[in-house]
Structure 1
Amino acid sequence: MFRFVTRYLGFLKAVPGTALVFDAWLRIATIFTHPEVSGYIDSIEREISGWDNTCTGIHKYGGLQFSYAKHELGHIHSNGLLDMRFSREIKQQIMAVDSRVEHHHVFKSTGWISFYIKTEADAVYAVKLLTMAYEEYRAKERTGLPLV
């Protein structure tokens, strides 16, 4: 359902609130079909929220966004899909190591990745991916590079 909506109805994200309503429906469907995924998302949120200078909020296209110093680390849609942006080089390295990591469901030719969280092991790997982004931002901050 998610891929169908993003592929054929993606234009609706321009309508204010539509993406948030869709994500709310995703959450309801996920609670009934894969209730454990909500628990995995909650555990990831607890972990990331404990990191220095991080916060969580609602992503503009729905889901839970993780930010470091006001810069997005990644976001998880309510069906357990983690989206993150890396450089294209790092994306290729990650995808070469783990076949579960895919090109982003919309921005395929960029550094964005998508990763479905379906199991507890996936949740652990999601934290690892978020840690990579977090450490990259912290390193940039320490060296005075812009956090872009």
Structure 2
Amino acid sequence: MNGNVRQIIIDQLLSWPEVTQQPHRFGGIEFLFIGKEIGHLHGDHLVDLLMPKSFRDQLIVSGRAHPHHMYPDSGWVSVYLTSNGDVTNAIELLRFKYDYLVAKRNE
């Protein structure tokens, strides 16, 4: 993979309006949209996101994400960052979650 994966993801997410970061309670960096978690990054190798159940299932079936590494039967998914394509996929999924949270806020 090219560059510092962690920094690429941080820079991308912090460029979105009203996104902040803070330490995640289980290690890594948590990204928030007005206090709601978008997802979190563990090192430069793993992104975890909580998704709506129906979308979570689609992501797993399609191979875009895996069941969460600690809580496989939850709404959480894990995206392992082993290639540039994985990084792009993770950013796309984080953007989906961001857009979902923005829409929920505007309801």
- Asked whether the two chains share a fold, i.e. TM above 0.5, the reply is yes
Aligned with 1:102 (options 48, 66, 75): 66
1:110 shift after superposition: 1.0
Report whether the alignment pairs 1:70 with 2:35. yes
Aligned identity (percent) is: 25
Cα 1:79–1:48 change in 2 (3 A) is closer
**TM-score with structure 2 setting the length:** 0.92
Report the equivalent of 2:77. Answer: 113
1:122 shift after superposition: 1.1
SS in 1 for 2:4: helix
Higher helix share: 1
CA contact (8 A) 1:104 1:112 kept: yes
CA contact (8 A) 1:87 1:111 kept: yes
Cα 1:82–1:38 change in 2 (3 A) is farther
**TM-score with structure 1 setting the length:** 0.68
Q: Which runs of 5+ in 2 are unaligned?
A: none
Q: Which runs of 5+ in 1 are unaligned?
A: 1-35, 144-148
SS in 2 for 1:90: helix
Report the equivalent of 2:57. Answer: 92
Q: Which has the higher contact order (CA 8 A, sep 6+)?
A: 2
* Aligned alpha-carbon RMSD (Å): 1.5
Counterparts of residues 1-148 of structure 1 (less than 5 Å): 39-97=4-62, 99-143=63-107
Cα 1:48–1:42 change in 2 (3 A) is same
Cα 1:117–1:78 change in 2 (3 A) is same
Which one has the largest radius of gyration? 1
SS in 1 for 2:31: strand
Structure 1 consecutive aligned stretches of length 4 or more whose deviation exceeds 6 Å: none
SS in 2 for 1:83: strand
